[in-house]
Structure 1
Amino acid sequence: MSQPTLRYGDRSQAVQQLQRSLIARGYNLYPDGDFGDETEKAVRAFQLKVGLVVDGAAGSKTLAALAGADCSKLLNNATLVAAAERLGLELACVYAVNEVESAGAGFLSNGKPAILFERHIMHRQLSTPRSADQVAGKLKARADLLASEFPNLVNVRPGGYAGGVAEHQRLAQARQLDDTAALESASWGAFQIMGFHATRLGYPSVQAFAAAMAQDENAQFDAFVAFIEADPVLHKALKARKWKDFAATYNGPSYARNLYDVKLQRAYERHAGCGCGQQAAA
Structure 2
Amino acid sequence: MTQPLTLRHGSRGQAVQQLQWALNADGAKLLPDSDFGDATEKAVRAYQLKVGLVADGIVGPKTLLALAGADCSRLIGNATLVAAAKRLGVDVATVYAVNEVESAGTGFLANGKVKILYERHVMHARLCLVRSEGDDSAALIARADAIAAKQPNLVNRAPGGYAGGSAEHQRLANARYIDTLAANESASWGAFQIMGYHAERLGYASVDEFITLMQRSEADQFEAFVRYIEADAALLKALKGKKWAEFAKRYNGPAYARNLYDVKLERAYQRHADCGCGGQQAAA
On whether the aligned pair clears a TM of 0.5, the verdict is yes
**Partner of 2:178 in structure 1?**
177
Distance 1:153 1:219 in 2: 28
**8 Å CA contact retained: 2:92, 2:280:** no
3-state secondary structure, aligned to 2:90: coil
1:267-282 aligned within 5 A: 267-276=268-277
**Partner of 2:168 in structure 1?**
167
1:113 aligns with 2:147: no
**Deviation (angstroms), 1:2:** 7.9
Distance 1:90 1:45 in 2: 19
**Deviation (angstroms), 1:133:** 2.3
**Partner of 1:251 in structure 2?**
252
CA deviation string 1:34-82 (max 9, x = no partner): 2122211111111001110001121121111101111111111111011
What amino acid sits opposite 1:232 in the alignment? A
What amino acid sits opposite 1:13 in the alignment? Q
**TM-score when scaled to structure 1?**
0.95
**Partner of 1:68 in structure 2?**
69
Distance 1:75 1:55 in 2: 12
Consecutive unaligned residues in structure 2, runs of 5 or more: none
What amino acid sits opposite 2:226 in the alignment? V
Moved segments of 4+, more than 4 Å? 277-281
**Partner of 1:234 in structure 2?**
235
**8 Å CA contact retained: 1:48, 1:279:** no
Tell me the matched-pair count.
Answer: 281
What amino acid sits opposite 1:209 in the alignment? F
**Partner of 1:222 in structure 2?**
223
Distance 1:62 1:72 in 2: 12
**Partner of 1:130 in structure 2?**
131
Consecutive unaligned residues in structure 1, runs of 5 or more: none
Distance 2:280 2:92 in 1: 11
Distance 2:280 2:232 in 1: 30
**8 Å CA contact retained: 1:78, 1:280:** no
RMSD between aligned alpha carbons? 1.8
3-state secondary structure, aligned to 2:158: coil
1:195 aligns with 2:199: no
**Partner of 1:211 in structure 2?**
212
**Deviation (angstroms), 1:280:** 11
3-state secondary structure, aligned to 1:154: coil
**8 Å CA contact retained: 1:54, 1:276:** no
**Partner of 1:96 in structure 2?**
97
